[in-house]
Amino acid sequence: ARVLHVVGTRPNFVKAAPVVAALEAAGCAQALVHTGQHYDERMSEVFFRQLGLPRPDADLGVGSGSHARQTADLLVALEAELTARAPRLVVVYGDVNSTLAAALVAAKLGVPVAHVEAGLRSFDMAMPEEVNRRLVDQLADLLFVTSPEAVGHLAREGVDIGRVHFVGNPMIDTLLGHVGLFDPAAARAAHGLPERYAVVTLHRPANVDDPEAARAAAGVLAEAARHLDLAVPLHPRGRAALSAAGLADAPGVHLLEPLGYIEFMSLVRGAAAVITDSGGVQEETTVLGVPCLTLRTTTERPVTVTHGTNRLVTHGELIPALRKVLDGANTLPADGPPLWDGRTGPRIADIVTQWLEHHD
Catalytic positions are 203
Give the interface segment with ligand UD1, choosing from 6-14, 75-83, 85-93, 192-200 (CB under 6 A).
Answer: 6-14
Cα separation, 233 vs 207, in Å, equals 15
Among 233, 238, 336, 345, binds ligand UDP (CB under 6 A): 233
- The correct pick among 73, 81, 117, 129 for binding ligand UD1 (CB under 6 A) is 129
Return the range that interacts with ligand UD1 (CB under 6 A); candidates 17-25, 93-101, 259-267, 341-349: 93-101
What 3 state SS string does 207-264 have?
HHCCHHHHHHHHHHHHHHCCCCEEEEECCCCCHHHHHHCCHHHCCCEEEECCCCHHHH
Task: Supply the minimum distance, in Å, between the C-beta of residue 9 and ligand UD1.
Answer: 4
Site for ligand UD1 in 230-249 (CB under 6 A): 235-237
By CB under 6 A, the residues from 46 to 65 that bind ligand UD1 are 64
201 contact choice in ligand UD1, ligand UDP, none (CB below 5 to 8 Å, kind-dependent): ligand UDP
CB count in 10 Å sphere of residue 22: 22
Q: Which of these, 232, 208, 222, lies nearest to 296 by C-alpha position?
A: 208
360 exposed, middle or buried (CB, 10 Å; 0-12, 13-18, 19+)?
A: exposed
Q: Could you tell me how many residues make up the chain?
A: 360
Assess 39 for contact with ligand UD1 (CB under 6 A).
Answer: yes
User: Which of ligand UDP, ligand UD1, none binds 131 (CB below 5-8 Å, type-dependent)?
Assistant: none
For residue 282, the tally of other CB atoms under 10 A from its CB is 24
Q: Which is nearer to ligand UDP, 201 or 207 (CB)?
A: 201
Q: Which residues bind ligand UD1 (CB under 6 A)?
A: 9-11, 37-40, 43, 64, 70, 95-97, 128-129, 203, 235-237
